[in-house]
Amino acid sequence: MPPLLGSLDYLAEVAKDWATHRFATANRSDFSLAPSRFDLHRYGVRRRRVASGSAEAQSPLAVAEQTSRPTAWCRGDVTMILIDTETGTVGYEQEIVEVLAVDGDDLHAEAAFVARAPGLPPCLGRFRPLS
Q: What is the mean pLDDT of the chain?
A: 90
| Interatomic CA distance for residues 104 and 94, integer angstroms | 30
pLDDT tops 90 at residue 62: no
- The pTM of this model reads 0.86
Short-list 110, 117, 119, CA closest to 19: 110
How does residue 81 score in pLDDT terms, banded at 50, 70 and 90? Answer: confident
CB within 8 A of 63, min separation 6: which ones?
55, 56
Where exactly are the structural domains of the chain?
A: 8-129
The pLDDT, as a whole number, for residue 43 is: 78
The 3-state DSSP class for residue 65 equals helix
In this prediction, residue 6 carries a pLDDT of: 62
The Cα 65–Cα 102 span in angstroms is 9
β-strand partners of 38: 47, 72
Q: Is the pLDDT reported for residue 67 higher than 60?
A: yes
- What number is the average pLDDT over the span 80-88? 92
CB atoms within 10 A of CB 50: 20
Render pLDDT for 31-44 as a digit per residue (tens, 0 to 9): 999 999 999 887 78
- H-state helical runs in the chain: 8-24, 55-58, 60-63
